[in-house]
Amino acid sequence: MYVSSQAPEGPPVSVSSLRKMREESTPIACLTAYDASFAARVDAAGTDVVLVGDSLGMVVQGLSSTVPVTVEDIIYHCRATARGLQRALLMADMPFASYAMPEQAIRNGARLMQEGGAQMVKLEGGLLQAELVHFMTSRGIPVCGHIGLQPQFIHRLGGYRVQGRERDAAEAMLDDARALCEAGVDLLLLECVPAELAKRITGEVSVPVIGIGAGPDVDGQILVLYDVLGITPGRKPRFAKDFLAETGNIPDALSAYVAAVRDKTYPAPEHCF
């Protein structure tokens, strides 16, 4: 293990502790990480869930989308990240087309858990994935359903835009959320969703909901680590906030992010749609 000397407080985070946090209205703080050194810092700051996201294709590998990321890439970064964690729950992204068929999804999900050390996997899609989610969760693979903006669909979407603004799209997203919950997801992630719609979804479902660009009325927030440190090149998404700029060092920036999620000062209105 490659852990921080500053041990994070409390027992390891589990699926049931995330559920308890929702019940007790304690906001869940989540961040991405891709290696042991950052994972140890993120963990020491009190982050509850660490995601080895396929965003690594863009922020680590310099690709223009998440589509080329492979299961091997995620396993490599997951193993490294796992070595840095003591408390946070480790979630791993299932890359593009790695869960197109049920047997393939089980095989790849199991690899992320057995070889990568992940405790939960995340996959994109709503209603259409419900059967697959049931197949995976009933075989012991905890799943986070990712709806709203789904970056793996970029070549069909044609751009990274807010989803669910029109009434039909909003109703469809509610149906997606309900179907994923009925299928057994343990966590729901909403990306780039109008704050009012995210609030409605969070009120209707029975599992913890985390948001990125989904406003304050969800059960927790997630950001890409490099956005929190202000080092992602190019145009900054509206929901991103550079905590390093106001704190001046990495441990304080990460603690400031976790504190801002807990006391709901992040996201502020300027980060919402």
Spacing of C-alpha 71 from chain mean position: 17
Rounding to the nearest 10 degrees, give the CA dihedral for residues 189, 119, 53, 18. 30
**Matching residue, tokens 């921080």:** 4
Position 53 contacts ligand KIV (CB under 6 A): yes
**Closer to ligand KIV by Cβ: residue 7 or 63:** 63
Which of 99, 109, 88 has the alpha carbon at shortest distance from 33?
Answer: 88
Which of 176, 85, 185 has the alpha carbon at shortest distance from 145?
Answer: 185
45, two tokens: 């700051």
**Closer to ligand KIV by Cβ: residue 167 or 235:** 235
CB of 54 to ligand KIV, least distance (A): 5
Span near ligand KIV by CB under 6 A; candidates 39-47, 49-57, 130-138, 174-182: 49-57
Position 93 contacts ligand KIV (CB under 6 A): yes
Spacing of C-alpha 140 from chain mean position: 20
Which of the residues 141 through 180 are near ligand KIV (CB under 6 A)?
A: none
**Matching residue, tokens 């693979």:** 141
Position 222 contacts ligand KIV (CB under 6 A): yes
**CA–CA distance, 80 with 84 (Å, rounded to integer):** 7
Task: Find the residue with minimal CB distance to ligand KIV.
Answer: 53
Interface with ligand KIV (CB under 6 A), residue from 224, 254, 260, 261? 224
User: How many residues bind ligand KIV, per CB under 6 A?
Assistant: 11
The DSSP bridge pattern shows strands 49-52 and 28-32 to be: parallel
Residue 24 appears among annotated catalytic residues: no
**CA–CA distance, 112 with 41 (Å, rounded to integer):** 22
Which of the residues 54 through 73 are near ligand KIV (CB under 6 A)?
A: 54-55
**CA–CA distance, 265 with 255 (Å, rounded to integer):** 13
Q: Please give the C-alpha separations between residue 224 and each of 59, 167, 230, in angstroms, as whole numbers.
A: 9, 29, 10
Q: Which residues pair with 222 in a beta bridge?
A: 30
Which of the residues 180 through 199 are near ligand KIV (CB under 6 A)?
A: 189, 191
Position 227 contacts ligand KIV (CB under 6 A): no
Interface with ligand KIV (CB under 6 A), residue from 74, 133, 183, 212? 212
**Strand, coil or helix: 52:** strand
User: Which of 24, 131, 191, 204 is an active site residue?
Assistant: 191
**Closer to ligand KIV by Cβ: residue 32 or 47:** 32
Interface with ligand KIV (CB under 6 A), residue from 32, 108, 221, 232? 32
CB of 135 to ligand KIV, least distance (A): 22
CB of 30 to ligand KIV, least distance (A): 8
Just list the catalytic residues: 191
> Rule CB under 6 A: which residues touch ligand KIV?
32, 51, 53-55, 93, 189, 191, 212, 222, 224
